[in-house]
A = this chain, B = another copy of it.
């Protein structure tokens, strides 16, 4: 803001938050959507949203709204883009700041979600959404694809302990194409940011796959050496 003292005389606006909430389940990337219980657009789906309050920062508002829906406080949340066309919301002029969140579906509070009419949709089977929400989703997908390559945020979508086949399926789901198993393992392991546990997960095979954890300290060490995380 360049202007001086008196802001009076300028119009004020409703400012909202809309959240694109990603989860990963059954080998698929999913979004948490809300079925609207009221007109207009009753029974249509929308992103979870809410208004920014007077004494609340916008990030705080985004966390609050997310917690209302999922019960989760510590979540990966990042601002995406602000949408401010005059007619974007058919009710009134609302400027909406879109955020995207990555959550581990297992931690999500199913009961709380149901109160809001929340439903998980696979990313490739999304219904039409109200207003410009589809546009927000496609922007979020692009961002997620880019970010997961250069920053270790994909792990936010997995349980703390995960197997390499799981991690690979996650990356395949995000990037929407298959990856070579050997190359994938070689690359992620060569970065040395995972710790292998001596436990196996046998839920998806008889032999079982070793469990790993993302190791933040190792990651920080990597970065402090001037190296980069890069996957896919």
Contacts and interface: CB of A to CB of B under 8 A. Distances in A.
A6 to B, nearest CB: 8
A127 to B, nearest CB: 14
For A12, A54, A81, which residue has the most chain B Cβ atoms within 10 angstroms? A12
B86 A59 contact: no
Given A7-B51, A57-B86, A84-B97, A1 B16 contact: yes
Oligomer copy total: 2
Interface in A74-108: 79, 81-86, 89, 91-97
A96 B50 CA distance: 19
A224 B87 CA distance: 33
B55 A86 contact: yes
B131 A50 contact: no
A177 to B, nearest CB: 14
Interface string A1-32: 11111010011111110100000000000000
A49 interface: yes
Contacts of A144: none
Contacts of A5: 38-40, 91
